[in-house]
Amino acid sequence: MMRDVAIIGVGVTKFGELWDKSFRNLIAEAGSKALLDSGISGKELDALYVGSMSTGRFVGQEHVGALVADWSGFAHMHIPAIRVESACASGGLAVRQGYFSVASGMNDIVVVGGVEKMTDVVGDEATDTLATGLDQEWESFFGATFPGLYAMIATRHMYEYGTTREQLAKVAVKNHANGALNPYAQFKRAIPLEKILASPMTAYPLGMLDCSPVSDGAAAIVLCAADKAKEYTDKPVKILGTGQASDTLSLHGRRDICTFDSTVYAGKNAYKQAKIEPTDIDVAEVHDCFTIAEIIAIEDLGIVKKGEGGKAIDEKITTLDGKIPVNTSGGLKAKGHPVGATGVAQVAEIVMQLRGEAGDRQVKDAKIGLTHNVGAVGASCVVHILGVK
């Protein structure tokens, strides 16, 4: 019998080009914040999970689990420290693995962290490193990149459903407006529609400001058996459901490039476990690595009907004061996208929303939230549903 699991602490560093902070400093900072927020002492910790996509290429460091345990002050405790990788979904999957370890009864309290230090390499090298998440033989070898592949998806979506360049740009406008309210965001400024549309073209129809940035940063959460959570906090947030699914690594192998089946199946599994419907979601953090990615995500998660993601942006369904606010943190687009940290930071944002601690970006009466973290171009996906009900 699986146990209920609660989140009792969260910690997030600033995201951005953090030249004065190292990989190890970032994850130690996030972990310390999460532990302080939870009220636990280090001696109560049973295990540590850390999501990181490509530390070996970004900073030349493998054997990440032991390093994080060391620099977090837990080496003397000899607890298990596990590194988790699933490309850009590494953080979300680390949360899922930590959840299972507590739900199974193996552990009572674990810390889950996510971290990436991406700006220690030049831009081209960062692009090449990210491209290792693609099919090396059938995509990267022929020059395919993330912007290029998502541009193909956007172009097809425009053809199939009438989605417009302006609707794509409005996703960025919304998320930058939210990011301006987030003290941890890489870009804390609103950007008007005309500037998004005028940004240099990266891969048609995606301009530079349709793309998430290269970022440094870390996030951490503390998971606890739900029946013990009230010993530490009067605001525990339960993990009501979690889902994970995969698809073909290469985009050309998909039945429909405008639908990420990994999202569809991960979402369905999470909804089933949580015993809710998409209409029950009050706030969501979805993987908007490119503006088209948010439009596809809200469709595949059932927040809107297929093909109506662009229309939903026009109708402001997903704004802070909309029917289902999406990416209140600013999303990957404005908050930043240190790839291993993203999935954990999404969970931290939803926890803050459900605890009523999101400040100027607070969603009124939020009780159920969703996170959606994608690896590569939808080859893997992790969905979590959190609640205070």
**Residue entry with tokens 């590494």:** 90
pLDDT of res. 194: 98
How far is the C-alpha of 109 from the C-alpha of 40, rounded, in Å? 9
pLDDT digits (tens, 9 = 90+) for 203-221: 999 999 999 999 999 999 9
Catalytic (active site) residue 381:
no
CATH tag, 5-122+215-229:
3.40.47.10
Nearest of 53, 56, 52 to residue 68 by alpha carbon: 52
pLDDT digits (tens, 9 = 90+) for 77-100: 999 999 999 999 999 999 999 999
Q: What residues form DSSP beta bridges with 206?
A: 203
Q: Which of 157, 176, 287, 337 is catalytic?
A: 337
| From-to residues of CATH 3.40.47.10 in the chain | 5-122+215-229, 129-210+239-387
How far is the C-alpha of 38 from the C-alpha of 40, rounded, in Å? 6
pLDDT of res. 195: 98
pLDDT of res. 14: 98
pLDDT of res. 127: 85
DSSP 140-185: GGGT--HHHHHHHHHHHHHHHH---HHHHHHHHHHHHHHHTT-TT-
Contacts of residue 107, Cβ cutoff 8 Å, sequence gap at least 6? 46, 47, 101
pLDDT of res. 42: 86
One of 3.40.50.1220, 3.30.479.30, 3.20.20.140, 3.40.47.10 is the CATH number of 129-210+239-387, namely 3.40.47.10
Three-state secondary-structure class, residue 363: coil
Spans in the chain with pLDDT lower than 50: none
pLDDT of res. 287: 98
CA angle 128, 131, 134 (to 5 degrees): 155
pLDDT digits (tens, 9 = 90+) for 121-141: 887 888 889 989 999 999 999
pLDDT of res. 339: 97
Catalytic (active site) residue 337:
yes
pLDDT of res. 124: 83
